[in-house]
Amino acid sequence: IQRMLIPKTAPQIPGLTITAKTRPASEIGGDTFDFFVKETRNIMYIGDSTGHGIPAGIVMIMVDVLLETFIELESTLRGMVIKLNRYIKPHLKPSMFMTMVLLEWIASENKLKWAGAGHEYVIHVKTRKGEVEAIQSGGLAVGMLPDIENYVKENEIILEEEDFVILYSDGIVEAKNIVGKIYSLARLKDFLKEQTGTEVSTDTLFEKIAIDVGRFMEGQEQLDDMTLIVMKHSNKTLAKDISTEWKSN
């Protein structure tokens, strides 16, 4: 069931190319992502449930199904996150919750909107300026409190041609090597500054990040799920299907 919920390929969205993959640390992981292309709306999310195994998988399934329902009922991302929390909280144990970022791409305005729920940073690579900005996603994890209305805000960034947006789970930046050192957000930002360019595709950048993380770990066991989404804004990019299968490096 979990494999069925993870999309097999990234969707074709006007103005965006997307490479998205997840690699669980155990048979059933807590990381997830999905895309909802509904008429004129292009909505996506990345999420990270507490723990691993069946409980994390159950939270993942509940979030995915409810989100698809609330897209039809709510006009704002903030409203979707608030309603998702309200419905899911009564069905979870106190130790069960999910951090997430829910996003919507407005192609006509080159605008990416998002509402955060205690997840990792949203990284904006301003390719032509050579700048990398890590923006706090904000909010509080879904399922942590009965009402998170005061914590949820909508944010937005305008993407210039060839800009990248990177989304990830903590399994990436908290990956450890054999001496216990973590990969870190700072290393990821430095790496992106060196490796991004107007000619670089999302597929290529994804592979470069995955290889760098793997080399950093030096054979250390993967202790947490890893999810990475690389998006690039370009009205010149040809649409293509990109598999979400994460191969070992």
**Which of the 8 DSSP states describes residue 27?**
S
Helices 77-88, 53-73: crossing angle, 10 deg rounding: 130
Q: Over the stretch 11-27, which tens digit does the pLDDT of each residue have?
A: 889 999 999 998 887 66
DSSP H or E run through 32: strand 31-38
Output the CA–CA distances (angstroms, integers) from residue 73 to 76, 77, 127, 191, in the order listed.
Answer: 9, 11, 36, 40
Q: Over the stretch 47-99, which tens digit does the pLDDT of each residue have?
A: 998 866 777 778 888 898 899 899 989 999 999 999 999 999 998 888 889 99
Q: Over the stretch 95-141, which tens digit does the pLDDT of each residue have?
A: 889 999 999 999 999 999 999 999 999 999 999 999 999 999 999 99
Q: Over the stretch 171-210, which tens digit does the pLDDT of each residue have?
A: 999 999 999 999 999 999 999 999 999 999 999 999 999 9
SS (H, E, C) 208-233: HHHHHHHHHHCCCCCCCCEEEEEEEE
